[in-house]
Structure 1
Amino acid sequence: MDTNQLWKERFQSHIKMVSRYMRLIFNDHLAFAMIFFVAAFAYFYQAWLETVPDTFPVEWIVVGIVGALLTYSPVRTFFKEADTVFLLPVENKLRPYVRNAVIYSFVMQSYWIAIALFALAPLYLQIYDNVSASYILVMIVFALVVKVGNLFATWFMQKTRDIRYHYFDIGIRFVVNGFIMYFLAIGVPYFALIGSLLIIGVCFLNYHNLYKGSTLPWDRLIDQEDAKLQFFYRIANMSTDVPDLKRKPKKRHGLVRLVTGRMPIRRKQTFTYLYAITFIRSGDYFGMYLRLVALALFFVFWVPAFWGKVLFAVLFLFMSGFQFIAIYNHHRTVEWLRLYPVTVDVRRKAVHQLILVIMVVQVVITTIGFVWASDWLNALIYLSIAAAFTVLFEAFYVRGRIRAFKG
């Protein structure tokens, strides 16, 4: 078996799948919202830099963000369930396959490290005004070299099933990576070089004690690959239908009882009850909603200008309403829902009500944030703008999108 050719085939299949879904994700209003978000963030980021104090701990920001990106170094293998049968006999010939997997993982994860350091560069150069801009390139190159060591350390660690070793390895590497980035940030690369030698030592220990002479944990690697694939599917499912998405609901009994406890048991409330439980128990929707609300509050407190706060708050309000329209098709493969003795209008009305409620809750939370971050008058101005936007968005945009769905 030519495992190098096998990698090429799986890599091409993966790129084809990702590109197809990315076109669908960014072929809607979400693309415009993201471009608008990046432009607005850059503008207010530049305005914030003019007011940042010289004592701002930018080096610890670099340690936290870049250190975490260096430590999180999974190797994408594209292994499938059938590989436990067909690839297990040729495990000793998978060296080219694993090499390509490490190279691919390095390239994809290096983008995030470079983006993070370039995004932090204006803040870093504002605090360390005696450092040249070319030093940022030195930090990026050094970080990428350290990333290679983290990737190999992670891969060598895969052969142990003891979760304690995994947590210990992550903790040690995060401390060492933070050590490296801290001394790079303060301009002492010699100590950072010592930290890189420690990463090499971790790689050697993982290889000698765990990897050498052991077989690959196929079930674990396949589960990890499936988890990464399902994570991408959940993101894509917010904008389009993903037939390969596996639904894994969460219990959250207390929250379900709180929301549905006073809900009347009537025929017209059938889908209201169903979609409320779906929103709470599905990790796709409730988790995304909490993150969007948290980001809205972050920008309300971070952006200095009042209209900038309003801009970001309304933008995340739009993203919340836009993302959860897809809940209408969440149960599209459950045929027995068609047996409900209720009309399609009842189902559509339930989605309208759910989106209206989650947007109103977000408006209330961000209004409280405006009270803390600004004053009562500005909070009332935002409340009136957000309330008008919510009503118009739900009445026109959501109604049109839902009526376009079949069934």
Structure 2
Amino acid sequence: MDTNQFWKERLNSHLKMVSRYMRLIFNDHLAFALIFFVAGFAFFYQQWLETVTDTFPVAWIMAILVGLLLSYSPVRTFFKEADTVFLLSVENRLKPYIKNSIVYSFIMQSYWIAIFIFALSPLYFTVYEEVSSAYLLFVLVFALVLKVGNLLATWFIQKTREQGLHYLDMAIRLVINVFAVFFLAIGQPYYSFIAALLIVGVVFLNYHNVYKKFSLPWDDLIEKEEARLQFFYRIANMSTDVPDLKRKPKKRHGLVRFVTRRMPLRQNQTFIYLYSITFIRSGDYLGMYLRLMLLAVFFAFWIPAFWGKIIFAMLFLFLTGFQFITIYNHHRSLDWIKLYPVPHVLRTKAVHQLILVLMLLKIIVMGVVFFFATDLMGALIYSSLAIAFAVLFEAFYVKGRIRKLGT
């Protein structure tokens, strides 16, 4: 068995799947919205930097963010459920496969470290004007070296099934990584070298105390790999139809009762009742809605210019409506929905109503936020523009998208 070739086949299959969905995700208005978001964020980020003082705790911000990225170091194995049968007998010959998995994980996770460090670099150079760009490059290289140690430590501890050891290992490495990056940021790399030696010690302990004593926990590795794959599917499902997505509903009985207790139990309310519960209990929609709400609130307070606040608030309002159109096909695999003695037009109407209600709720919240972030006039201007946008968006854009989903 050529495990290197086997790894290449698994990797190629994964990349084809990812590239197919990425084309579908960004082949829409979402790509334009994201480009606009990045450009607007860069513009207001530059304006905000002019107000930053020398006492701003950029070193701690960099240490915490990069420290989290360093500590979270899962190894992508691309193992599948059938591997428990076909690969279990050749486990001792999988070292090249595991090595390739660690290298791939390092490359993919290094991108995020580089992105965060370079995104924070204008803020860092504003506070530490005497620091050269070469030193920041040294910080990046040092962080990547720490990443290798964290990946090895994570993989070695992976063999134990004691979750307490996993949490302890994660906590210890997080503290070490945060202080390692912090000392680098304030210009004291000697302490960072000591922290790096501590990471080496953690790797050594995990290897000798865990990795050498146990075999691969196939079921646990496959379960985590499936969880990462489903996470990507959930993101892709916000923009396109993902047939392989496995949905695990959550109970949330209290919230369901709060929403449905005043809802009339009439035949023409069948689908609005169904989609309301779907929005609450699905693991995708409610969390995404709240995250978009929090981001909109953050930018409303963070961006200094009033019209900048308006633009970003409208952008997040668009994303709120756009992301939840796919709820129309959420129950596409359930044939019994087609047996409802209810006209099909009510299903489309229910999605329209749900999206409009979600946008109006967000407008109310953001109207209050604008009142505190600006003034009463600012809140009225935002609310008027947002209501007009929501009505037009629901009447024209949502209608066209649902028509495409229904075909």
1:217-236 to structure 2, matched below 5 A, reads: 217-236=217-236
Residue 68 of structure 1 corresponds to which residue in structure 2?
A: 68
Deviations along 1:271-301, one digit per CA (max 9) or x if unpaired, are 0000000000001111111100010001001
Query: How many Å separate the matches in 1 of 2:117 and 2:222?
Result: 32
Query: How many Å separate the matches in 2 of 1:406 and 1:214?
Result: 51
1:327-406 to structure 2, matched below 5 A, reads: 327-406=327-406
Query: How many Å separate the matches in 1 of 2:134 and 2:70?
Result: 21
Query: How many Å separate the matches in 2 of 1:118 and 1:327?
Result: 37
1:164-175 to structure 2, matched below 5 A, reads: 164-175=164-175
1:78-157 to structure 2, matched below 5 A, reads: 78-157=78-157
State the shift of 1:136 in Å: 1.2
1:256-275 to structure 2, matched below 5 A, reads: 256-275=256-275
State the shift of 1:168 in Å: 0.4
Residue 278 of structure 1 corresponds to which residue in structure 2?
A: 278
Query: How many Å separate the matches in 2 of 1:19 and 1:405?
Result: 21
Residue 46 of structure 1 corresponds to which residue in structure 2?
A: 46
Partner amino acid, structure 2, of 1:39: A
Deviations along 1:281-336, one digit per CA (max 9) or x if unpaired, are 00111111110001000100110111111111110000010010000000011001
State the shift of 1:365 in Å: 0.9
Query: How many Å separate the matches in 2 of 1:307 and 1:199?
Result: 47
TM-score by length of 2: 0.99
Partner amino acid, structure 2, of 1:305: A
Runs of 4 or more off by more than 2 Å in structure 1? 403-407
Deviations along 1:161-196, one digit per CA (max 9) or x if unpaired, are 111001000100000000100000000111101100
1:284-303 to structure 2, matched below 5 A, reads: 284-303=284-303
Structure 2: gaps spanning 5 or more residues = none
Deviations along 1:82-140, one digit per CA (max 9) or x if unpaired, are 11111111111010000000000000000000000000000000000011122111110
Structure 1: gaps spanning 5 or more residues = none
Query: How many Å separate the matches in 2 of 1:346 and 1:274?
Result: 12
State the shift of 1:405 in Å: 2.7
Query: How many Å separate the matches in 1 of 2:237 and 2:406?
Result: 17
Partner amino acid, structure 1, of 2:21: Y
Residue 179 of structure 2 corresponds to which residue in structure 1?
A: 179
Query: How many Å separate the matches in 1 of 2:23 and 2:132?
Result: 39
State the shift of 1:399 in Å: 1.2
State the shift of 1:374 in Å: 1.3
Residue 315 of structure 1 corresponds to which residue in structure 2?
A: 315
1:179-198 to structure 2, matched below 5 A, reads: 179-198=179-198
- What percentage of aligned pairs have identical amino acids? 69
Partner amino acid, structure 2, of 1:54: D
Partner amino acid, structure 2, of 1:128: Y
Query: How many Å separate the matches in 1 of 2:120 and 2:406?
Result: 46
Query: How many Å separate the matches in 1 of 2:367 and 2:388?
Result: 14
TM-score by length of 1: 0.99
Query: How many Å separate the matches in 2 of 1:203 and 1:258?
Result: 50
Deviations along 1:323-364, one digit per CA (max 9) or x if unpaired, are 100000000110011111111110010000000000001111
State the shift of 1:401 in Å: 1.3
Partner amino acid, structure 2, of 1:391: V
State the shift of 1:4 in Å: 1.1
Deviations along 1:52-76, one digit per CA (max 9) or x if unpaired, are 1111000010011100000000000
State the shift of 1:213 in Å: 3.0
State the shift of 1:376 in Å: 1.0
Partner amino acid, structure 2, of 1:74: P
State the shift of 1:404 in Å: 2.5
Query: How many Å separate the matches in 1 of 2:390 and 2:361?
Result: 11
Residue 19 of structure 2 corresponds to which residue in structure 1?
A: 19
Partner amino acid, structure 2, of 1:124: Y
Partner amino acid, structure 2, of 1:375: D
Query: How many Å separate the matches in 2 of 1:119 and 1:181?
Result: 15
Query: Secondary structure in 2 aligned to 1:405?
Result: helix
Query: How many Å separate the matches in 2 of 1:313 and 1:53?
Result: 27
Query: How many Å separate the matches in 2 of 1:317 and 1:227?
Result: 29
State the shift of 1:366 in Å: 1.0
Partner amino acid, structure 2, of 1:307: W
Query: Secondary structure in 1 aligned to 2:406?
Result: coil
Query: How many Å separate the matches in 1 of 2:310 and 2:373?
Result: 12
Query: How many Å separate the matches in 1 of 2:230 and 2:5?
Result: 25
State the shift of 1:368 in Å: 1.1
Partner amino acid, structure 2, of 1:274: L
Query: How many Å separate the matches in 1 of 2:40 and 2:222?
Result: 40
State the shift of 1:375 in Å: 1.0
Query: How many Å separate the matches in 2 of 1:172 and 1:405?
Result: 48
Query: How many Å separate the matches in 1 of 2:253 and 2:15?
Result: 39
Residue 237 of structure 1 corresponds to which residue in structure 2?
A: 237
Query: Secondary structure in 2 aligned to 1:129?
Result: coil
Query: How many Å separate the matches in 1 of 2:377 and 2:55?
Result: 32
